[in-house]
Amino acid sequence: MGRRAWWLIDGLPHWLLTMAVAKAPERLEAFAAAIRQDRLVPLMPLAPNCQTPPSLAALYCGRQANETGLCGFDLPNFDTNGLGLQKAFDRGPGDWPRIWDEEREGRGLRLLHVPYVGADTASRAVTYINGFGSPIVAPAVLEPSDALECYGIAPSGPTWEAFETGSGSRSLAARVNIDGVARVVLLGSWPVEGGATPFMATGLQHSYRRGDLGRTLMQGGNGVAEQLFVDSLRQMSRHYNQLWMAEFRAGPLDDIYGYQPALDLALHELIGYVAPDCGHWQPERANCVLPLLIDMLADFDQVLRHTRQEAGPNDRVIVCSDHGMMPVDTLARPNQALRQLGLLTTDDEGKIDTLQSQMWLHPTESGLLCLRADAAGNLDGMLERLTAALTSQTGRQAQIAEDRGLEMRLAPPKGILARHFLWAGPRCQIRADFDGPVTEPTLKTGEHVVTGPDPSLRGVVIDLSATPVLLPDTAMETWQVSFLFTTDAVSVVPSRASTL
């Protein structure tokens, strides 16, 4: 085998890609060819939770969640009250070796924005760039006078320009009219480990959701906000695309692993507008948003074309996502339902009283249900009451998965069970707060948290190698993708450690 090349596009769903290819095959030539040549198969979402940190750990370590102990973006930190949080990216998958930890004779190593890289591996890499961290300059939508006073920048118009923004960083900014008012949109800058210059763009998803880029489609807008939002993300995306191609060309003998996060940020806000079964869908909204998403996919398609053309005859080249994206239209608050059922008690400050409550959705919002062991004699009855209550209010069938192996990794304190994961049903997002009714419409239109029986959560695996090893008409589990770099053929029948 020649070099290993693995590019990951965060959040690319199988269903959206096939829809986009059917709509614009001439703009998505590489994706279309992969489908036509049986080089693309679905990626099954990681169970019981398919958020990004556990999914990336499964991909890069080749291990299931009940081996890495990662089951969400945040993990439970069972402190004195049982409600603490720990960032999964900070904890990582433990001592399980990552695929790039293997030193291959005659091969250098290039690591581009991938997480969970140990110090020893980073030190021997030809290139190591890690952009995870807090921004040096946060993204913002500013009045022109504030942009000039705070950052010394004065963009001349809607074309993105690069500016020095202090602390050795640069950022892209543009002057635009938002609802008839002049504003400066600043993309922000993040620190990068490994001695590289901080890259010049980040996501404006929070500004978009608040309406700072103009009224969103959900707020009665005409699509201008969505166009500005996607345009800003394409600026961000170009950094990752250009970096991948530059490093791919610079090291024809080097193994290379790259990560591209921009699409996931877009789909959390927009994907429901193009899904006919989602409550946020309308024909006019779909006609506005789908071309914008195709623009983003066309940028990736160009990278795939160049990578395929420039790869060596013995190189193993894989492009995949880490999960799909489920369109959502309904926000569910299980803790509110549990309180109404008399299974959850709050203290004087309105917080969960874990000593008096029998069951609660942990504040990680990873789907993890915690139960007091002394109430376990009525376990099935309590779980059935919760799913019935949610199902009656959302109109969607809620389900609960059990994973005792993962519970051992989470190590809850004596007296607490932490083995059940709640899926609130199709098109449902869950929250652990008490800030509203049990159900209400979502502000997001896409989510991926608990893995349920919904095909929209499936991602993709694409084999661009000269001699592909993927077998057609199969599907791959997330934790098995790394096997493509160590075997001559992989045919996977999906199997679950936890079954819904």
92-101, 192-201, 247-256, 460-469: segment of lowest average pLDDT: 192-201
Quick one: average pLDDT of 122-135? 87
Residues 6+ apart with CB under 8 A from 34: 40, 304, 462, 463, 464
> In the prediction, which pLDDT does 378 show?
87
Residues 6+ apart with CB under 8 A from 492: 474, 475, 476, 477, 480
57-61, 201-205, 384-388, 419-423: segment of lowest average pLDDT: 201-205
56-65, 68-77, 78-87, 198-207: segment of lowest average pLDDT: 198-207
> Has residue 381 got a pLDDT over 50?
yes
> Has residue 114 got a pLDDT over 50?
yes
> Has residue 32 got a pLDDT over 60?
yes
Q: ω into residue 191 within 30 of 0, thus cis? A: no
> In the prediction, which pLDDT does 493 show?
43
> In the prediction, which pLDDT does 497 show?
37
2-16, 46-60, 131-145: segment of lowest average pLDDT: 131-145
> In the prediction, which pLDDT does 165 show?
81
How far is residue 265's CA from residue 206's CA, in Å, rounded to a whole number?
Answer: 10
Residue among 69, 119, 120 at smallest CA distance from 91? 69
CATH number of the structural domain 4-72+103-131+223-325+455-485 = 3.40.720.10
Quick one: average pLDDT of 18-42? 97
168-177, 375-384, 486-495: segment of lowest average pLDDT: 486-495
Domain with CATH 3.40.720.10 in the chain: 4-72+103-131+223-325+455-485
pLDDT band at 499 (very low <50, low <70, confident <90, very high): very low
Mean residue pLDDT of the chain comes to 93
Quick one: average pLDDT of 481-488? 87
Quick one: average pLDDT of 470-494? 79
Backbone dihedral angles phi then psi of residue 436, each to the nearest 5 degrees: -175, -170
Quick one: average pLDDT of 427-448? 97
> Has residue 196 got a pLDDT over 70?
no
pLDDT digits 0-9 by tens, 267-276: 999 999 999 9
> Has residue 341 got a pLDDT over 90?
yes
Quick one: average pLDDT of 50-56? 97
SS3 letters for the chain?
Answer: CCCEEEEEECCCCHHHHHHHHHHCCCCCHHHHHHHHCCCEEEEECCCCECCHHHHHHHHHHCCCHHHHCCCCCEEEECCCCCCEEEEHHHHCCCCCCCHHHCCCCCCCEEEECCCCCCHHHHHHCCEEEECCCCCCECCEEECHHHHHHHHCCCCCCCCCEEEEEECCEEEEEEEEEECCEEEEEECCECCCECCCCCCCCCCCHHHHHHCCCCCCHHHCCCCHHHHHHHHHHHHHHHHHHHHHHHHHHHCCCCEEEEEECHHHHHHHHHHHHHCCCCCCCCHHHHHHHHHHHHHHHHHHHHHHHHHHHHCCCCCEEEEECCCCCEECCEEECHHHHHHHCCCCCECCCCCECCCCCCEEECCCCCCEEEEEHHHHHHHHHHHHHHHHHHHHHHCCCCEEEECHHHHHHHCCCCCEEEEEEEECCCCEEECCCCCCCCEEECCCCEECCECCCCHHHCEEEEECCCCCCECCCCCEEHHHHHHHHCCCCECCCCCCCCCC
> In the prediction, which pLDDT does 472 show?
82
> In the prediction, which pLDDT does 496 show?
40
> Has residue 192 got a pLDDT over 80?
no
345: left (phi over 0), alpha (psi -120 to 50) or beta: beta
> Has residue 500 got a pLDDT over 70?
no
- Give the percent of the chain with pLDDT over 70: 95
Full-model pTM: 0.95
> Has residue 491 got a pLDDT over 70?
no
> Has residue 194 got a pLDDT over 90?
no
> In the prediction, which pLDDT does 495 show?
43
pLDDT band at 195 (very low <50, low <70, confident <90, very high): low
pLDDT digits 0-9 by tens, 202-255: 789 999 999 999 999 999 999 999 999 999 999 989 989 999 999 999 999 999
> In the prediction, which pLDDT does 197 show?
67
Quick one: average pLDDT of 343-367? 95
